[in-house]
């Protein structure tokens, strides 16, 4: 398994890279974990509802893609992680894999003094779950083809949260969004959180083999 840091990347190019890598892994090539930040873009899952787009800011677009979930935003300051791995080789079902991604983020947040939680029926990682202040810090959406995964999760680190006001994030109209920077009151090193996330994810995947 190889970890690949892409830096700031255009969404469409990274999507094509994932598609090529999925085909390679299906043929037995090395698994990869891509970590990136995207130029500002909105993505809508295959079963997402266009009415959750309220108004797109100038210079952005919304791309419908094949992952699960509804609409979300990707932009600078947000760590996006795309594992292209074989669930069969890791002895994981789809639900267990999503839980593993959530656990990765929960453990990363712990290192910053933040308690991440799951919300039943709402994939992703949340803060103050079950309270009126419930807010999402990480969105998850995946696709699995012949046991090989693509897409993944987006963790708000130093993200400009103003972009989320243009949508109903993940289809929710009554829940907020947050970031590590907002929760801690300080700007976070993207290099540091990227390395920590990669190590944590790889450790959890290796533990299941």
**Residues with active-site annotation:** 170
Q: Taking the mean position of all CA atoms in its chain, how far away is CA 23?
A: 21
- Going by the DSSP 8-state scheme, the letter that residue 53 receives in this structure is B
Reference 168, options 157, 176, 160, 159; nearest CA is 176
Distance from C-alpha of 151 to C-alpha of 95, rounded to nearest angstrom:
15
Tell me the CA end-to-end span of the chain in Å, nearest whole number. 12
Counting Cα atoms < 13 Å in the Cβ hemisphere of 132 gives 0
What is the DSSP pairing of strand 41-44 with strand 62-64?
parallel
């Amino acid at each position: 398994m190889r970890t690949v840091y892409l830096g700031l990347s255009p969404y469409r190019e990274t999507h094509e890279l994932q598609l090529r890598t999925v085909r390679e892994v299906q043929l037995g090539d090395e698994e990869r974990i891509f970590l990136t930040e995207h130029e500002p873009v909105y993505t809508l899952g295959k079963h997402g509802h266009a009415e959750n787009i309220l108004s797109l800011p100038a210079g952005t677009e919304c791309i419908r893609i094949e992952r699960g979930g509804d609409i979300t935003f990707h932009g600078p300051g947000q760590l996006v992680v795309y594992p292209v791995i074989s669930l069969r080789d890791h002895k994981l079902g789809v639900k267990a894999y999503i839980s593993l991604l959530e656990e990765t983020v929960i453990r990363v947040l712990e290192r910053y003094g933040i308690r991440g939680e799951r919300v039943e029926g709402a994939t992703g990682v949340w803060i103050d779950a079950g309270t009126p202040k419930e807010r999402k810090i990480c969105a998850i959406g995946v696709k699995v083809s012949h046991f090989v995964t693509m897409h993944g999760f987006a963790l708000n680190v130093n993200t400009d949260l103003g972009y989320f006001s243009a949508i109903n994030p993940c289809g929710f109209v009554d829940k907020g969004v947050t970031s590590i920077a907002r929760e801690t009151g300080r700007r976070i090193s993207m290099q540091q959180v990227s390395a920590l996330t990669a190590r944590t994810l790889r450790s959890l995947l290796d533990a299941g083999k």
